[in-house]
Structure 1
Amino acid sequence: MTGLHVLVTQPWDDYALIDSGGGRKLERYGDLRFIRPEAQAMWQPAAADWQADGEFVGGSDEEGGGRWNLDPRVPARWPVARGPVRFYASNTPFRHLGFFPDMGGQWDWMRQQVAGRRGMRVLNMFGYTGVGSLIAAEAGAEVTHVDASKKAVAAARENATLSGLGVAPVRWLIDDALKFMRREVRRGSKYHGILLDPPKYGRGPDGEIWQLERDLPELVQLARQLLADDAAFLVLTVYAIRLSALALDALMAEVLGDLGGVITSGDMAVREEARGLLLPTAIFSRWQPA
């Protein structure tokens, strides 16, 4: 490893980190503005008075708790886009808005790896509402999208229809991550690209317990076995602040070291519009052939 890297998501037409500080952040989703807690915004905000259409208050962590205080004009959901892919934003009980905008940099990089390659098969684990799956499908990949939540997969299918990708070659599966990947290994399945975006904690459709620190090593080992000989990438993103990008890098190097290629690890961040500050949001590690 030659040092930690920072993958920055810049503001785009339908999303911006407008300002941050004092343990909060002000963001724009389409034409609507929202305030959310942000522990890593330790500095003072650029503006003293934030005007927003809603704020998430209360709660102690990213796993839940708290509530939204919303202006009555805020709809239940509204369409936004990242390039040609369209999807719905909504104010969820878990303080986020139905997708993770700091993944923008990863989506763009993944699309570059997919575009122009024929017969590309991509696996998106913990695929949530499907933005990463749709970006890969729009670029020409055949995608397998897996999430344990029936509600999340239903939202992903709605996003596919909204994007005009309702008949794209995407398999939408509701399954436990480790059980699915173990079966795929036994079947001899192979993928040219794999996106892993595991939560800190989670439950499978039959009550299976996912714990990041316990289960992440097996997840990466299974992903290694599912990579095709001519694979193009494996991306791992983690939102658990207790972990370090150095730890992800060491794990990826141990499991994928026999492949050669390049492993890049570091922080994911969003650039603030007000002053250009970088707000860190997650850590990542990704492999690609040399």
Structure 2
Amino acid sequence: MEESILSLTPLHWEDYELIDTGGFEKLEKFGPYILSRPEPQAIWDKSMSESDWKNLSDAHFAKEKNNPEKGQWQEFKKIPHNWQLSYKNPDGLKMKLNLAMTSFKHIGLFPEQAVNWDYISDTLKKFTVKNPKVLNLFAYTGAASVAAKACGADVTHLDSVKQVVTWSKHNMESSGLDGIRWIVDDAMKFIRREVRRGNTYHGIILDPPAYGRGPDGEKWILEEQINEMLKLCAQLLDPDHHFLILNMYSLSFSSMIASNLVKSNFHVVSNAEHGELYLVDRFEKKLPLGIFFRFRKI
């Protein structure tokens, strides 16, 4: 299996900018608003002064001492509960995504994933299959689902949290689309059932967390379960026309681990690419934000 090892960052996004990074924080522009948030991988110094960060920030996420993933937003400027961000690429993909500040520092969007939205769009436009079936697992607020639907795919979107599935519906509707199949379920349970049913998909998108819970308390631990999940995905993927995207955010994982996982579970993998996703700030510092492995057969 030949592989390309890449580092990928979004190139075409007028509504988003990573302004500065450092001091375990990042300063980002989302449409009209500038937010500062914790970033554990930004271990270097900030390029701008603390006073510049404070003057630019419309809101700052302050972590709880005992739980770095939870905290409160401090607003320096009135920000609406929800606002929208537009995304479009040179190939004609257009989406409107809804953002909101949550108590877990997230705002409903991972900007580095834009490179995978472009990949989904490019792949589906090259398929000769009419209405290809795409499964998005651990789908969060569904930007990848919306991208696939915008390109004519029959999309199944699965997440274990009902609230983020509702958020995904808003993203679909704001983008002028309809018809995505919504499922609130445990991802492993669902794909086991799909294998038993004999169902197949032309595209599978996997964006699993390091740790998580299903809707009935099912435990997900990435390093313990991702191998079995990929075994099942190998049975679900159409052999003739397909793509698969695997994202992983565990700090202990490299893209070589993703490569080994895929090699051991998929018999034939063509046009394989793996590496790091990153964003670049104004001062040319590169912020790594996870690893990926993807392949396709058109």
| Smaller-chain TM-score bracket | over 0.9
Which residue identity does 2:154 align to in structure 1?
A: E
* SS of aligned partner of 2:230: helix
Q: Output the CA distance in 2 between the equivalents of 1:61 and 1:25.
A: 21
CA offset at residue 72 of structure 1?
5.0
Which residue identity does 2:287 align to in structure 1?
A: L
The answer to whether 1:174 aligns with 2:184 is: yes
The answer to whether 1:215 aligns with 2:220 is: no
Match of 2:34 in 1: 33
1:59-116: per-residue Cα shift (whole Å, max 9, x none)? 4799722221123511111011212211111111111111111101111111100125
**Aligned counterparts, 1:1-290, within 5 A:** 4-10=5-11, 12-48=13-49, 49-50=52-53, 51-59=56-64, 64-71=69-76, 73-83=78-88, 84-117=94-127, 118-165=130-177, 167=178, 169-256=179-266, 258-272=267-281, 274-289=282-297
1:163–1:63 Cα change, 3 Å? farther
Q: Which runs of 5+ in 1 are unaligned?
A: none
Q: Could you tell me whether the CA contact under 8 Å between 1:10 and 1:270 is conserved in 2?
A: no
1:210–1:159 Cα change, 3 Å? same
1:206-260: per-residue Cα shift (whole Å, max 9, x none)? 111111111111111111111012232100001111112111111111111x114
1:162–1:61 Cα change, 3 Å? farther
Q: Output the CA distance in 1 between the equivalents of 2:121 and 2:66.
A: 32
1:40–1:64 Cα change, 3 Å? closer
Which residue identity does 2:46 align to in structure 1?
A: P
Farther off after superposition, 263-272 or 56-65: 56-65
Q: Could you tell me whether the CA contact under 8 Å between 2:247 and 2:291 is conserved in 1?
A: yes
**Paired residues, what number?**
286
Q: Could you tell me whether the CA contact under 8 Å between 2:3 and 2:271 is conserved in 1?
A: no
1:63–1:249 Cα change, 3 Å? farther
Q: Could you tell me whether the CA contact under 8 Å between 2:206 and 2:245 is conserved in 1?
A: yes
1:22–1:145 Cα change, 3 Å? same
Q: Could you tell me whether the CA contact under 8 Å between 1:62 and 1:94 is conserved in 2?
A: no
1:19–1:198 Cα change, 3 Å? same
Match of 2:91 in 1: none
Identity %: 37
Farther off after superposition, 224-233 or 146-155: 224-233
- What TM-score results when the alignment is normalised by the length of structure 1? 0.93
Superposition RMSD in Å? 1.8
CA offset at residue 160 of structure 1?
1.2
Q: Output the CA distance in 2 between the equivalents of 1:183 and 1:241.
A: 31
- What TM-score results when the alignment is normalised by the length of structure 2? 0.91
